[in-house]
Structure formats: structure tokens, C-alpha cells
């Protein structure tokens, strides 16, 4: 099993398009553009990887959020772990860290019937304690090596320039970070990036495929909605 932090150090021209998915957040999302991005990727026969939170600004158990997540999963996109409420994991106690991982995994098992095998620590922050905790949950830790900077206020021109600068300098593999809550990312940047990567002869794959692993530890059936599907007050 792969347990080290993966920084796209893989052979070959492979690119994994990833999306930060903080439910309902003003700056991230499973947000209003989630299904739009999933459909766009599928129109190019490309599979993306969506890193999902459970309770950041809104709750993953919201009916529309669950429907969008189920839609993208059904299209074959990889759904991955991004913690329950997006804290900096390096600042947490052992109990808090375990909660962030297990609470989000529970939501995946309920809504989709899957147990993800990949986790991206919020902000890209990790240490040995964080990696060991993620590994203990059966997951691999992954970050990125190219960033659109769309969560830092970059406009379309700036994000495109960032990719133009970074892509030629990669080691043959790209894990590209994008944020699905940015309307320009959803409407324009992603399609531009797909075309750009294809022009460089990249094969567009999921994070799991890029690393040569499996997307999920287990795959089962979604559970039936019950009264305890809610996000507790923070």
C-alpha cells in the first residue's frame, strides 16, 4: 500500500485534475458548479478527483449536496477525503484528528457506500502525526504540484499564466489543484486546462490512476437516509 505523501512523483505523462470540495462554502464547494464540472469532464471522457468536506459552511447531508455528489460518483469521477470541517490537521489533538477522518468517512459510506483510499490535508499542511493518522485509517496522503491559485483571487488570465509557467517544469506527472466554487474555473478554466494538457500529450486520469492505486478501500451500497444524517453544531 502507498503510505507516503504523494507529490506526483510518478513516471510518464499523466495528469490528475483535482477539485477542492468544501460543501456550501463561499470560496469552495460540493458547490453549485459541482455537477457542471463533472459533466464537462465527462464530455471529454476525462475523470476528475473531487476532495470533499462534510461540514464547512453547509452540511454534506443537504439534499442537493448529496444528489450532486451521487451524480459525479455515478459518472466515474473519483471521490476523495478532505476531512470533515477543513481544519489545519497539524494543530489538532489526536482525538480531534481522528474525528475529522472518521466523521467524513462515515458520510461517504452513508451517501455513496464507499470508503475512500485517498486524503488531501486541508491547506496542504501535514506532519508525521497527520500522515500516520491518515495511514491508520487505510488512506494515502496526497497533495499537488500545480495550483491554479483560483482560491487566492487569481483571475482567469492569471490562472492560465500560472499553468503555462508550471506545466513545462513538472517531472512528467501533474496533480492540478482547482476549486469548484470558482465560477470562472467551472465555466472556462477547466476546459482550457483539459485542452492544454492534451496538447502536451498528457493522459488525463484520477489521482488513484496517476499513483497506480485504487480509489476506494471498499465499495458497497448507499445507505437509506435516517434521522441521524445531520451535521452537529461546531
Q: pLDDT digits over 151-163, tens only?
A: 767 788 887 888 8
Q: How many helices (H) and strands (E) does the chain have?
A: 8, 10
The domain segmentation of the chain, as residue ranges, is 14-219
The pLDDT assigned to 229 comes to: 97
- Residue from 105, 121, 101 nearest 113 by CA: 105
**Assigned C-alpha cell, 178:** 482547482
Strand partners, 147: 177
* Pairing of β 140-141 and β 14-21: unpaired
36-95 pLDDT, tens digit per residue, is: 889 999 999 999 899 999 998 779 999 999 999 999 999 999 999 999 999 999 999 999
**Assigned C-alpha cell, 53:** 468536506
Among 3.40.50.620, 2.120.10.30, 3.20.20.370, 3.40.50.150, name the CATH number for the domain at 14-219.
3.20.20.370
Asked whether 13 and 198 are in contact (CB, 8 A), the reply is no
Q: Please state, in angstroms and rounded to a whole number, the distance separating the CA atoms of residues 107 and 225.
A: 11
Q: Please state, in angstroms and rounded to a whole number, the distance separating the CA atoms of residues 178 and 216.
A: 22
Q: Please state, in angstroms and rounded to a whole number, the distance separating the CA atoms of residues 81 and 99.
A: 13
Sequence-distant (≥ 6) Cβ neighbours of residue 192 within 8 angstroms: 156, 160
Q: What percent of the chain has pLDDT over 90?
A: 50
Amino acid at each position: 500500500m502507498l503510505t507516503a505523501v504523494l507529490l506526483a512523483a510518478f513516471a510518464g505523462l499523466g495528469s490528475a485534475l483535482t477539485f477542492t470540495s468544501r460543501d456550501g462554502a463561499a470560496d469552495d464547494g460540493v458547490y453549485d458548479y459541482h455537477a457542471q464540472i463533472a459533466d464537462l469532464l465527462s464530455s471529454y471522457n476525462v475523470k476528475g478527483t473531487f476532495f470533499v468536506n462534510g461540514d464547512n459552511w453547509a452540511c454534506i447531508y443537504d439534499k442537493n449536496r448529496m444528489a450532486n455528489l451521487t451524480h459525479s460518483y455515478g459518472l466515474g469521477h473519483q471521490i476523495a477525503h478532505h476531512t470533515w470541517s477543513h481544519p489545519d490537521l497539524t494543530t489538532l489533538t489526536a482525538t480531534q484528528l481522528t474525528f475529522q477522518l472518521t466523521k467524513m468517512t462515515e458520510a461517504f459510506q452513508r451517501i455513496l457506500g464507499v470508503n475512500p483510499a485517498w486524503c488531501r490535508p486541508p491547506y496542504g499542511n501535514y506532519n508525521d502525526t497527520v500522515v500516520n493518522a491518515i495511514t491508520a485509517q487505510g488512506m494515502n496522503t496526497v497533495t499537488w504540484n500545480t495550483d491554479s491559485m483560483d482560491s487566492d483571487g487569481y483571475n482567469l488570465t492569471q490562472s492560465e499564466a500560472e499553468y503555462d509557467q508550471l506545466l513545462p517544469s513538472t517531472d512528467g506527472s501533474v496533480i492540478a489543484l482547482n476549486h469548484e466554487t470558482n465560477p470562472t474555473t467551472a465555466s472556462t478554466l477547466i476546459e482550457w486546462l483539459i485542452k492544454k494538457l492534451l496538447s502536451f500529450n498528457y493522459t488525463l486520469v484520477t489521482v488513484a490512476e496517476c499513483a497506480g492505486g485504487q480509489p476506494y478501500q471498499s465499495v458497497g451500497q448507499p445507505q437509506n437516509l435516517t434521522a441521524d444524517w445531520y451535521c452537529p453544531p461546531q
